[in-house]
Structure 1
Amino acid sequence: MKQIDIEIINVKNISKMKASFPLEKGLYAFVGENGCGKSNLMLALSLIVKTSSSHMLTSNDLSPDSHIKIKIGESEDFWFCKSGRLTTGKFGQIKDRKSPKVRKVLIASTHMDGFYEGSIFYGRRFDDFNIIDRFMSNPKMKESLIEADSFVRETLGYILHNDTGYYPNLKKIKTRAIAEENNFKGIPYFNEINGHIISQYRMSSGESMLISLIDFINNLVIKNVRKNNDILFLIDEVELALHPAAVYRLIKTLEKLISDASSNLIIYFSTHSSELIHRISPKNIFYIENINGDVEIINPCYPNYAVRNLYVPNGFDFLLLVEDELAKSLVEKVIREYKLSNSKLCCVLPCGGWSQILKLHYDMITYNTLGVGKSIISILDGDAKDDVKEAEKKYSDYKKLRKSFLPIPSIEKYLRKKCILDKDRDFIKLINDKYFNIRSLTDIIHDYENDRRTQTHSDKDGKAFYKILISNLKKSGITEDAFITYLCDDICSYESISDFANKLKSLLS
């Protein structure tokens, strides 16, 4: 059986790992608790499909003896640390399309065609984020676009909305040559709504992630003229960007694709999603345990074993639906500090935007998804109140759903409000002193306010400001996950949450 043999030594939180994974057509899953090394393993495997993944590891993630050994059949690569970066020490040359110059590129003997989608914040879908606005400011921009292929339009609509006709005006840049002329690494997509063009990077995280994935499927699988070649897809934590129902339809789509494809299509997920795990064969589930850096892998692994530590068991009393990981952290902290879970089991589940939460909540109630004796509560971001009121006018059944709102808007809007709109000096000092020890938050704010892109676009959702903050945090060695966890503590100490806690207490009684 064809397989990947991989050894990882001293890379991030993995001190030692040695394992083999099949390269046979099918769906596979890496599962395990937070911090076990799933994403690090996916990043290491991504070196097979894109050597540029090595740039995602810095000197803070490596030590002088760090290495990754990958073997596929007779081909082998030894990635070692040099000057704080991973390299194979093997280079090739490619001709630059824009000029007669020849570029030196890192190469790998184990290379395969494929796709790597990193986490919701650091995936490749954001590679071109910083230059898209300049492209769209060109008056002749529309002349560079064509209608997206029907497979991409219809698949996107089906997965996200169960409607193949949901994106009739989805477009993309005509050719790779045009994309490269505008310095894009990929080929961005655009959606036209009421005459307005919206870039892929201004769409939701779920839309942006899926467009990139479906585009690769279209080019590597649907249009593929080569038969029986190996294609490797690596998708990290897809559930962070997608509604559970969308995850279900994605899996159905991929299962059919694998069944129909003449190519040897191999898809690996790292996931916490019970919906996804339960659709994968036990022999294709790899449970990762990290014991002080030494990684052990359990395979085969049955789904109920895999999710036993990832989800509260089926005996929970309350299911709380929230929008994202920050909301989950905040709600769980309030439940702990106010002792709201006494004599009851509560499960907090991130599900996406407010509209997705309410639809899921309504469907679960309507179809009695959870069974008898279990209650569902929707906890929505504070900035969704007006939208929810309008939705309740349109769908009167939404009024009956048990719900509450966080004392803050989304994380991006909250940070922008405090730092940019309100100029809250106490909050800025608090955040600056705790996290920005290399470059001050005041300087970052100043640069943001004087950036031409900020002056051109309002950034009402705060995503651009948030992206700048995270970029500077990485330079300080602070991960985004850690920042979100600590920021939750800061919010609870800085904002009055007693009213929210009291409301939550009444909902849990």
Structure 2
Amino acid sequence: MKLKMNIHKIKCINNLEIEFPTEKGLYAITGQNGSGKSTIVACASSVFFNMRMNDYFGKTDEDAYITFELGNSKRSWKKTDHKWIKASDGVMNIKGFYEGSLIFGNRFRDTSYDKLRIIETIDANKLIPANDFIRKNLGQILQGDSNFYEKLWFVSSNYEKFDGTVFFYEKNGKRISQFHMSTGENLLISILNSLYIRNNDRANLNKPCLIFLDEIELALHPSSLKRLVHFLQEMSNQYNYAIYFSTHSIELISGISPANIFFIERHSDNSIEIMNPCYPAYATRILYDHSGYDNVILVEDDLAREIIRRILRKECLLNNRLVHVLPCGGYSNVIDLADDVVRNNLLGKKASICIILDLDIKTNAENYIAHNNIANNIPLNYLPIESLEKYLRNKLVKNVDHTLFRRLNDYIFQQKSLTEIINDYTQNNNADNDNNGKRFYKLIDTELRERRKDRNELIEMIVEYLFEKNDDMIKRTTSFLTTQFKNNNF
């Protein structure tokens, strides 16, 4: 199931429609500065969070709105007579929490000099021991030591009219209030406290629960960030959370599936494009963590990557060299990223790079290179490999491969059959105009998510099948790669 959101005239976003999967897992919303990531996250959180709209979004046009759809239920915030009015149609069966920016996040909302003075003189008998879930995970994530914080307390929000819970910890006999903690400690205590409350409220694990975290890497060391990601993955699996990060961090993005990465691209006319799935290499536009390789091969998608990886292993082409096959998305993404790598020498002098694209977009790629005046002498080659989307449409709909159809239907699509999916596609999705196969794949992806299955399962089965039948595509690809490596052509 997906939460559909439409944003109209909110801050830097004029009009945007986006769908958020509600299945458990880690998701990333990324893009360059000013692309609208934080606005998207803040707007999305208003589906369950009654925020002060004027404070969060500032001055907006009188026809501004945010609308949501989840199944048959609808919810909206609309500007009417200078006020934001909330409306619902049906029960929006969803929960969640939001950890926002430095200005509007939970961790600093109580800060003032008067409250600082009050909190520093609070009586010890007003303090309540915090749950070990918060104390131990605070130490484990920040320091790698679950008992780093000897004692952790909090003061109730009823005391001195604080808006939220205020924490204290004791270290080496000294008591430190939350107002004197580091930004990272503040951030993590807020997240852990919200998680603790939400965990105890998960009476029905089938109810969707979305967690939005805005640029948490600003306050955390990379090692702490990695431990936090591991911890949140465990929480997601245990409590069925869909956890969304708004982030620039390569540490965060590199561990997230391309299907769960939303790249926000703002164009020169101020329009916004959302790329999903998006590969981490393109989302970060940085390759410094691959600079130790001898050869880097940039390809379009994960199907091409897995085919090439298997050929390299099968033909023993990896001897005495380190090779990285990196999917980047569509052909323009591959070309742009390769050009960026060469111009900025991101791989160093010893490494070499080549581009391998799908043969069916050869004309488009050549036109793109000419139009953008790209001249970097990077070896560019074409393989007879279709994208996963085109391959599935061709083999399951247009020219049906009965063996592949039966294998996928029996082992992956055991509840809603491929026959049902294809009937839906041909009758309701304008199939004749779906040349790139994306509409067909969207139906397949929806079913995979419903059954808690993964795109990688599909790819693994397709690649296994191609190699079993010694497909012509595999033969030609093997011949090409063998020649390139033996002659050291890149």
The reply to whether TM is greater than 0.5 is yes
Q: Could you say if the C-alpha distance between residues 55 and 185 of structure 1 is closer, same or farther in structure 2, counting changes exceeding 3 Å?
A: farther
In structure 1, the residue matched to 2:278 is 301
Aligned: 1:48 with 2:47: yes
Q: Distance in 2 between matches of 1:73 and 1:210?
A: 33
In structure 1, the residue matched to 2:443 is none
In structure 2, the residue matched to 1:88 is 86
In structure 1, the residue matched to 2:98 is 116
Aligned partner of 1:287 among 259, 263, 284: 263
Q: Could you say if the C-alpha distance between residues 186 and 38 of structure 1 is closer, same or farther in structure 2, counting changes exceeding 3 Å?
A: same
Is the 1:117–1:124 contact (alpha carbons within 8 Å) kept by the matching residues of 2?
yes
Q: Distance in 1 between matches of 2:38 and 2:105?
A: 11
SS of the equivalent of 2:3 reads: strand
Displacement of 1:218 in angstroms is 1.4
Q: Distance in 2 between matches of 1:248 and 1:78?
A: 36
Displacement of 1:42 in angstroms is 0.3
In structure 1, the residue matched to 2:367 is none
| CA displacement, residues 300-323 of structure 1 (integer Å, 9 cap, x when unaligned) | 111111111x6778569xxxxxxx
- 1:297-336, aligned counterparts within 5 Å? 297-308=274-285
SS of the equivalent of 1:233 reads: strand
Q: Distance in 2 between matches of 1:315 and 1:294?
A: 34
Q: Could you say if the C-alpha distance between residues 223 and 132 of structure 1 is closer, same or farther in structure 2, counting changes exceeding 3 Å?
A: farther
Matching residue's letter, 1:208:
N
Aligned: 1:257 with 2:235: yes
Displacement of 1:249 in angstroms is 0.4
SS of the equivalent of 1:27 reads: strand
SS of the equivalent of 1:65 reads: coil
Greater Cα radius of gyration, structure 1 or 2: 2
Is the 1:27–1:284 contact (alpha carbons within 8 Å) kept by the matching residues of 2?
yes
Is the 2:72–2:90 contact (alpha carbons within 8 Å) kept by the matching residues of 1?
no
Aligned: 1:275 with 2:244: no
- 1:351-366, aligned counterparts within 5 Å? none
Aligned: 1:239 with 2:237: no
Displacement of 1:14 in angstroms is 0.6
Is the 2:150–2:171 contact (alpha carbons within 8 Å) kept by the matching residues of 1?
no
Q: Could you say if the C-alpha distance between residues 146 and 236 of structure 1 is closer, same or farther in structure 2, counting changes exceeding 3 Å?
A: same
In structure 1, the residue matched to 2:395 is none
Displacement of 1:195 in angstroms is 3.9
SS of the equivalent of 2:92 reads: coil
Q: Distance in 2 between matches of 1:29 and 1:296?
A: 15
In structure 2, the residue matched to 1:65 is 63
Displacement of 1:294 in angstroms is 2.2
Count residues in correspondence: 300
Matching residue's letter, 1:133:
L
SS of the equivalent of 2:157 reads: helix
- 1:332-343, aligned counterparts within 5 Å? none
Q: Could you say if the C-alpha distance between residues 157 and 315 of structure 1 is closer, same or farther in structure 2, counting changes exceeding 3 Å?
A: same
| CA displacement, residues 323-370 of structure 1 (integer Å, 9 cap, x when unaligned) | xxxxxxxxxxxxxxxxxxxx99699xxxxxxxxxxxxxxxxxxxxxx9
Unaligned 5+ runs, structure 2? 293-341, 352-490
Q: Could you say if the C-alpha distance between residues 258 and 139 of structure 1 is closer, same or farther in structure 2, counting changes exceeding 3 Å?
A: closer
SS of the equivalent of 1:249 reads: helix
Q: Distance in 2 between matches of 1:89 and 1:315?
A: 52
In structure 2, the residue matched to 1:29 is 28
SS of the equivalent of 1:272 reads: coil
SS of the equivalent of 2:62 reads: strand
Q: Distance in 2 between matches of 1:10 and 1:71?
A: 18
Q: Distance in 2 between matches of 1:226 and 1:203?
A: 35
Displacement of 1:89 in angstroms is 5.5
Q: Could you say if the C-alpha distance between residues 215 and 346 of structure 1 is closer, same or farther in structure 2, counting changes exceeding 3 Å?
A: farther
Matching residue's letter, 2:118:
F
| CA displacement, residues 396-431 of structure 1 (integer Å, 9 cap, x when unaligned) | xxxxxxxxxxxxxxxxxxxxxxxxxxxxxxxxxxxx
Q: Distance in 2 between matches of 1:59 and 1:109?
A: 29
Unaligned 5+ runs, structure 1? 91-106, 317-342, 348-369, 375-509
In structure 1, the residue matched to 2:163 is 185
In structure 1, the residue matched to 2:11 is 12
SS of the equivalent of 1:201 reads: helix
Q: Distance in 1 between matches of 2:271 and 2:205?
A: 40
| CA displacement, residues 459-494 of structure 1 (integer Å, 9 cap, x when unaligned) | xxxxxxxxxxxxxxxxxxxxxxxxxxxxxxxxxxxx
SS of the equivalent of 1:158 reads: helix
Aligned: 1:77 with 2:75: yes
SS of the equivalent of 2:161 reads: coil
Q: Which runs of 4+ in 1 moved over 6 A?
A: 310-313, 370-374
Q: Distance in 2 between matches of 1:172 and 1:373?
A: 55
Quote the sequence identity (%): 35
- 1:365-376, aligned counterparts within 5 Å? none
SS of the equivalent of 1:216 reads: helix
Q: Distance in 2 between matches of 1:119 and 1:346?
A: 34
| CA displacement, residues 4-40 of structure 1 (integer Å, 9 cap, x when unaligned) | 1111111111111112111111111101111111000
Does 250-259 or 39-48 show the bigger shift? Answer: 250-259
Q: Distance in 2 between matches of 1:134 and 1:84?
A: 37
Is the 1:209–1:241 contact (alpha carbons within 8 Å) kept by the matching residues of 2?
yes
Q: Distance in 2 between matches of 1:188 and 1:311?
A: 41
Q: Distance in 2 between matches of 1:127 and 1:111?
A: 28
Q: Could you say if the C-alpha distance between residues 224 and 128 of structure 1 is closer, same or farther in structure 2, counting changes exceeding 3 Å?
A: same
Matching residue's letter, 1:88:
K
Q: Distance in 1 between matches of 2:226 and 2:146?
A: 16
In structure 2, the residue matched to 1:206 is 184
Is the 1:169–1:192 contact (alpha carbons within 8 Å) kept by the matching residues of 2?
yes
Displacement of 1:197 in angstroms is 2.5
In structure 2, the residue matched to 1:150 is 132
Matching residue's letter, 2:198:
L
Matching residue's letter, 1:34:
N
Q: Distance in 2 between matches of 1:312 and 1:168?
A: 39
Give the RMSD, CA atoms, in angstroms: 3.0
In structure 1, the residue matched to 2:298 is none
| CA displacement, residues 63-107 of structure 1 (integer Å, 9 cap, x when unaligned) | 1121111111222122112354533267xxxxxxxxxxxxxxxx9
SS of the equivalent of 2:244 reads: strand
Q: Could you say if the C-alpha distance between residues 85 and 168 of structure 1 is closer, same or farther in structure 2, counting changes exceeding 3 Å?
A: farther
Is the 1:288–1:296 contact (alpha carbons within 8 Å) kept by the matching residues of 2?
yes
In structure 2, the residue matched to 1:3 is 2
Q: Could you say if the C-alpha distance between residues 373 and 134 of structure 1 is closer, same or farther in structure 2, counting changes exceeding 3 Å?
A: farther
In structure 2, the residue matched to 1:218 is 196
Is the 2:11–2:57 contact (alpha carbons within 8 Å) kept by the matching residues of 1?
no
Displacement of 1:183 in angstroms is 1.6
SS of the equivalent of 1:24 reads: coil
Tell me the TM-score normalised to structure 2 length. Answer: 0.56
Aligned partner of 1:166 among 137, 140, 148: 148
Displacement of 1:180 in angstroms is 2.4
Aligned partner of 1:133 among 113, 116, 140: 116
SS of the equivalent of 1:159 reads: helix
